[in-house]
Structure 1
Amino acid sequence: MTGPNGLGDLMRDPDETIRRMDDWAAGFAAKAERYQAAQEKTERLRLTATSSDGAVKVTVGADGTVTDLTFSNKVKSFPLDELSRQILTTMRRAQSGIADRVAGVMAEQLGDEDRETRGALLDSLRGRFPGPDEPDEQAPAAPGPVPPSPTGGAGVPPAPAAPQASPPPRRPAASDDENNNPW
């Protein structure tokens, strides 16, 4: 590497070495600013979904946490299991848009920079927040109708057949994460 613009040239011309180092540092600082802007914009993202009947409305942040939950008067007549199902379904619908919204922020703030890093991040988000019609590994299957109890009464759920494995630990809540960084 002793040809033009090689290490030998830099060693002979300290001013050129300093200029190149300054250029590298300026480029690194600009990249850090772009990433900081992307992080700040991502932290402000909010995605909202409403149940098909308008009874439940859920808003989530880019990290998937629920930031707002509202109900219409319709929920007063819902059985609790139906209300729970609608909340979870609507929350998952809101969360399913996270990866696309984060991808948009990254494209806007970073352009084509660091495609591999971006791809890994977005793949991770898509794995954590699948589309609303995709199976969710952490969601239990919807229970079928409740059979009558041995005494003839309906609505008493049977005892569980066997304990189920605990879901994997979730990421700490935003208030526990000092950086509040979804990446």
Structure 2
Amino acid sequence: MTGAGGGGLGDLMSDPDEAIRRMDEWAAGFARKAERYAAAQEETERLRLTASSPDGTVSVTVGADGVVSDLVFSSRTRTIPPEELARMVLATMRRAQAGITEQVAEVMSEQLGDEDEETRTVLLDSLRGRFPDPEEPQDEDDDTSPEPPAPTPPLSGGAAATPPPSPPPAGGPPPRRPGGVDPEEQDNNPW
């Protein structure tokens, strides 16, 4: 079907110069698009987001990948218990990471405009999932702390029962023997 003026493959076959011109336009458009994506990637890689704890004791800087690139403590850290300081560092890091999605969205908007909306949505949704807003309440049902193991009932004589060893995972290494020495490694053990 090569109807007149349809702009189909038949028209291109009858005018090879037009086919070459269209292919050159397509290639040039693709090259411009690749340049915009490369510029967006370079700008994204340069992003640095910094957050500080409310009292200024901790300052954390992260890159667009969420990795900490700088961590600064004030002299006040000497008076803070280590557990509290650890919580403060993690909370501050999460606040810095929470800004990643917005910053990457701005870069994409500047460099790509409205191009590839689906790609942008997938990327930004992925970032939102990895770096959620720390101020949003978490689901109460999302309790990831493990339950403590049930106590093992004692055997007669007061000794605790030792559960039988679990079978090795499929394709995994065989379980270690109760002495801590694997018979295959025994000859290689210098002690």
Name the TM tier (shorter chain). Answer: 0.7 to 0.9
Candidates 108, 111, 115, aligned match of 1:109: 111
Kindly state the Cα deviation for residue 47 of structure 1 after the two structures are TM-superposed. 0.2
Q: Aligned partners of 1:70, 1:80: CA distance in 2, in Å?
A: 15
Give the equivalent residue in structure 1 for 2:101. Answer: 99
- CA distances 1:57-94 after superposition (whole Å, capped 9, x unpaired): 00000000000000001111000000000000000000
2:93 corresponds to which letter in structure 1? M
Equivalent residue runs for 1:49-64 within 5 Å: 49-64=51-66
Identity of aligned residues (%): 68
- Taking structure 1 as reference, are residues 124 and 9 closer, same or farther at Cα in structure 2, changes over 3 Å only? same
Give the equivalent residue in structure 1 for 2:24. Answer: 22
Q: Aligned partners of 2:36, 2:137: CA distance in 1, in Å?
A: 35
- Tell me, yes or no, if the aligned pair for 1:55 and 1:74 is still in contact at 8 Å: yes
Structure of higher RCO (CA pairs closer than 8 Å, 6+ residues apart): 1
Kindly state the Cα deviation for residue 161 of structure 1 after the two structures are TM-superposed. 2.0
Kindly state the Cα deviation for residue 111 of structure 1 after the two structures are TM-superposed. 0.1
Give the equivalent residue in structure 2 for 1:2. Answer: 2
RMSD: 1.9
Give the equivalent residue in structure 2 for 1:152. Answer: none
Higher alpha-carbon Rg = 2
Q: Aligned partners of 1:107, 1:28: CA distance in 2, in Å?
A: 18
1:23 corresponds to which letter in structure 2? E
- Taking structure 1 as reference, are residues 136 and 102 closer, same or farther at Cα in structure 2, changes over 3 Å only? farther
Equivalent residues, number:
143
Deviant stretches of 4+, over 4 Å: none
Which segments of 5 or more consecutive residues in structure 1 lack a partner in the other structure?
144-159, 163-183
- Taking structure 1 as reference, are residues 125 and 86 closer, same or farther at Cα in structure 2, changes over 3 Å only? same
Q: Aligned partners of 2:42, 2:97: CA distance in 1, in Å?
A: 19
Query: What is the TM-score of this pair, normalised by structure 2?
Result: 0.71
Q: Aligned partners of 1:10, 1:110: CA distance in 2, in Å?
A: 31
Which segments of 5 or more consecutive residues in structure 2 lack a partner in the other structure?
150-191
Query: What is the TM-score of this pair, normalised by structure 1?
Result: 0.74
